[in-house]
Each structure stands twice: as C-alpha cells, then as structure tokens.
Structure 1
C-alpha cells in the first residue's frame, strides 16, 4: 500500500495550452480518482507546480502557472509546492516533507512523462523511496520524433522494474 500521492505539473499552461496532452480528459479523471482514494485513506497529497522565471508564461501567479481547475486539489489540506527543474526534489523541501510524513512508498502521476515524471521517479528511487507509477496516470504531448502514446509506452517499459512498480491506477491502494 502506498503512503502518499504526488501529482506533477497539472497546470493550465500544460493541460490546456496550445498542444493538448494525450488522452487528457481520461488522465485528469484518473488523477482525481487517485486523489479521492488517497484522501479517503488519509494519505498525504503533494502537488508540484513547475515555475518559470519572472516574465515567462509560467511565472509564479500567472494564469498558465495555476493548477487546472478541474483537478480536485484542496489547497487548505494538500501540500502544494513549486519547482523549477524536472525533478520535484531539486531545490524543494519535498524529500524532507515525505520523510517527516514517514512516506516509504510514493505514487507519482501527472505530466510530462518524458521530463518531470521520468526524472522524479528516478530521483525518488535514488533517495530510497519505493515508487508506484500508474501506467495510465501520466501524459505528455506529441513531439516531432514520437507520438505521445509511444513516449508513454516507452517510459512505462523503461521505468518498470528498475525504478517503479508499474500498475494500473485502479489497482493502487493507499
């Protein structure tokens, strides 16, 4: 059973920007389902926002930086934090907060598969956390080289075993 949930970069500028993430409505519904189950079990929920420098489209406080309004985050009880790199750990207090909450196993979900999801999964394992990755709980956009579906499938296959326990979101328990 997982001890905590980490949702990464579900922000207006990524979710609702000019390039739409693969199966975005389904992924959002999956994340909200995970949030509901974590909350019902009393598991802490951590929510990362990627923050750009002043003047960038995703600078702190800007409309594109805001969390997607349909994401069922409760700012009064969930742990929101800002990051500036693909790793949710670099330059943040996430590791300390997870350790203070005695988290050993962490569910990681959100966006973007090939950047922040991949990096955060690998770093979490290096820091000694067990990671559960819902194969259907992360997304990204098409790139010139690969379609989003192929990127997601590739990262699920690459991360499984060596870095994460790969499973479907409906099988995750808190």
Structure 2
C-alpha cells in the first residue's frame, strides 16, 4: 500500500485570519512532524490551497492565499495545487496524480474540519482510497452553533469507521 500525505488549506488567511483556528500552533507542529516523517519514508506530499475568485480575500497570488510561512512545505518537491471547492478532487487533477504515483492510502490533515477535511475524506473514500485521519491533525474555528473543539470531535467520531481510519498523528509512519 502506497501512502501520500495530503495537507489542506494551511493558508495565511485561514491560519492567521481574524478568527484563529483551535489549537493552531499544536496542529501546525503536528502537521510539520508528519511532513518530516513523510520525507523520511519517501512518502509524497500533496498540498491544497483554497482559491477564491478574483477580488476575493483568497484570490490566487494574494497574501492571505499563500501557505502559512511556518508550514514546512518544499515547493520544489511537494505537489502544490489549487482548489475552488471543499473537495480536493473536484476540478483538480489530484486523483490522476495519486493514481500515477500508485497511491492507495491518503493521510489527510489541515483545515477546516467541517468543510474541506470532511468533504475530501468522504470523496477520497468514494474514489476507492483508504483514508487515515489523524484526529489531532486538523482544525477549524468556533462557529455560532458550536465550539471548534466540538466540531473536531464530532467529525473524528462520525468519520471513524465507515470513512476513515482514525489515529493519533504520532502513530503515522512510526
């Protein structure tokens, strides 16, 4: 089984916007540890950037659209791609690239839990990929209805079993 690490939407405008993600420093450190372990095991790394339309706060090339500077992504070796929907697959060539790399299992981390993490996990499973979700490797912001911590725990519990294999990040590639 060939793995890939998929990092979703760790961008300046989301990570350092007016509403800060829950436990953002810990999640960033967790993702950077996974990047380091992926590199050590020659696991390919795919990095999605959410891209808004021209004139939006996260239009391509804008400061908020950039990857968070503390994320240890190497643009010369990691595959960066843009997406415009919650799914990392819709309107991108991610599926083709994963197939070309013979990837069968995705480790999915990043932001936002209830949108892009949830949607990408479900679509990946529907496309036949095994999905590993580090329960401590994704985050979001509080909403009017729920605190981020509750959103994260709900999605970890809901996705576990039928959609993803729920693990702790420290157990991935160790």
TM-score bracket, normalised by the shorter chain, equals over 0.9
Output one character per residue of 1:8-64: Cα deviation in whole Å (capped at 9) or x when no partner.
000000000000000000000000000000011111000000000000000000000
Q: Is the 8 A contact 1:7 1:47 kept in 2?
A: yes
Partner of 2:65: 65
Partner of 1:128: 128
Q: Scaled by the length of structure 1, what TM-score is found? A: 0.99
Structure 2 unmatched ranges of 5 or more: none
Question: How far has the Cα of 1:173 moved from its partner?
Answer: 1.3
Partner of 2:17: 17
Question: How far has the Cα of 1:2 moved from its partner?
Answer: 5.9
Question: How far has the Cα of 1:90 moved from its partner?
Answer: 0.1
Q: Is the 8 A contact 2:88 2:116 kept in 1?
A: yes
Matches of residues 1-174 of structure 1 in structure 2 within 5 Å? 3-173=3-173
Distance 2:171 2:58 in 1: 34
Distance 2:130 2:2 in 1: 9
Q: Is the 8 A contact 1:2 1:172 kept in 2?
A: no
Q: Scaled by the length of structure 2, what TM-score is found? A: 0.99
Structure 1 unmatched ranges of 5 or more: none
Q: Is the 8 A contact 1:2 1:173 kept in 2?
A: no
Matched pairs, number: 174
Output one character per residue of 1:56-112: Cα deviation in whole Å (capped at 9) or x when no partner.
000000000000000000000000000000000000000000000000011000000
Question: How far has the Cα of 1:141 moved from its partner?
Answer: 0.2
Q: 3-state SS of the aligned residue for 2:144?
A: coil
